[in-house]
Structure 1
Amino acid sequence: MRGLVGKRKLLRIFISLEDKFKGKPLWEYILELVKKEGLAGATVFKAAAGIGAHSELKTFSVWRLSQDLPVVIEIIDREEKVRELLKVLDEVIEEGLVVLEDVEVITYRHRGK
């Protein structure tokens, strides 16, 4: 799929693993939204530790039942598609950080069905 190669936008979203929207994990809701809106794809990274919006250190602990760890979601696509997604994300992200940067996609390949 050579159509994604070239100058694109990288949307990076920093949220918490425990964030929810409509009772569903927020990261999962965002992935479903990306698929529904037909963006090229998204990747979710669960961090081992981080400092959140309230300067609170969040780390993994085997002693805690609940793991409120940082999550980063990366989405790359054409600027117009990313900007449309941002309009929806503004309604669903209550707390977190959203950044947008220029990237150049060199190669984008996938296996055919």
Structure 2
Amino acid sequence: MSRLGGPALRLTVLVGESDRWHHRPLYSEIVHRARVAGLAGASVFRGIEGFGASSLVHTTRLLSLSEDLPVAVVIVDEEERVRAFLPQLDGMVAEGLVLLDGCEVVTYAGRGPARDPGRGSGRGETAGPGETAQ
């Protein structure tokens, strides 16, 4: 399992739920790319109401506007790793907001080593039975 603690950088990408990247939800593509890049983790949060640069309010209270609710993708990792990931977002986020802010990781714990043979982040994972540590 990766170790992450102390100073870190939080990347927050705010987009619309209906935003797409090559017929796939944009938020899903960002999470997939973050995993491939070996980042510590990514979470997607669906908003119940919000507006952006267009000033159009999207809300669950109006059926016609509930199909494009705000979505936040949050990624936290070491500053160098997050900054190295930023070019992945170029061209993908045509409408939305990309934020960076410093934070402090107090606890980062998982359920156990991920079972994805042949792929490791190179940050100290432990090997399971029959596996080689990377």
What TM-score, normalized by structure 1, do the two folds share?
0.92
Whole-angstrom CA distance in 2 between matches of 1:75 and 1:65: 27
1:36 counterpart = 2:33: no
Whole-angstrom CA distance in 2 between matches of 1:49 and 1:99: 19
Q: State the partner residue of 2:25.
A: 25
Q: State the partner residue of 1:106.
A: 106
Offset of residue 65 of structure 1? 8.6
Q: State the partner residue of 1:7.
A: 7
Offset of residue 85 of structure 1? 1.1
Name the larger-Rg structure.
2
Whole-angstrom CA distance in 2 between matches of 1:49 and 1:17: 12
Q: State the partner residue of 1:89.
A: 89
Higher relative contact order (CA closer than 8 Å, sequence separation 6+)? 1
What TM-score, normalized by structure 2, do the two folds share?
0.78
- Contact 2:15 2:71 survives alignment (8 Å): yes
Give structure 1 regions of 4+ aligned residues with deviation exceeding 3 angstroms: 61-66
The unaligned stretches of length 5 or more in structure 1 are: none
Cα distance change, pair 21–2 in 1 and its aligned pair in 2 (3 A): closer
Offset of residue 64 of structure 1? 3.4
Amino acid across the alignment from 1:49: E
| Structure with more helix by fraction | 1
Offset of residue 90 of structure 1? 1.6
Whole-angstrom CA distance in 1 between matches of 2:49 and 2:90: 25
Identity %: 41
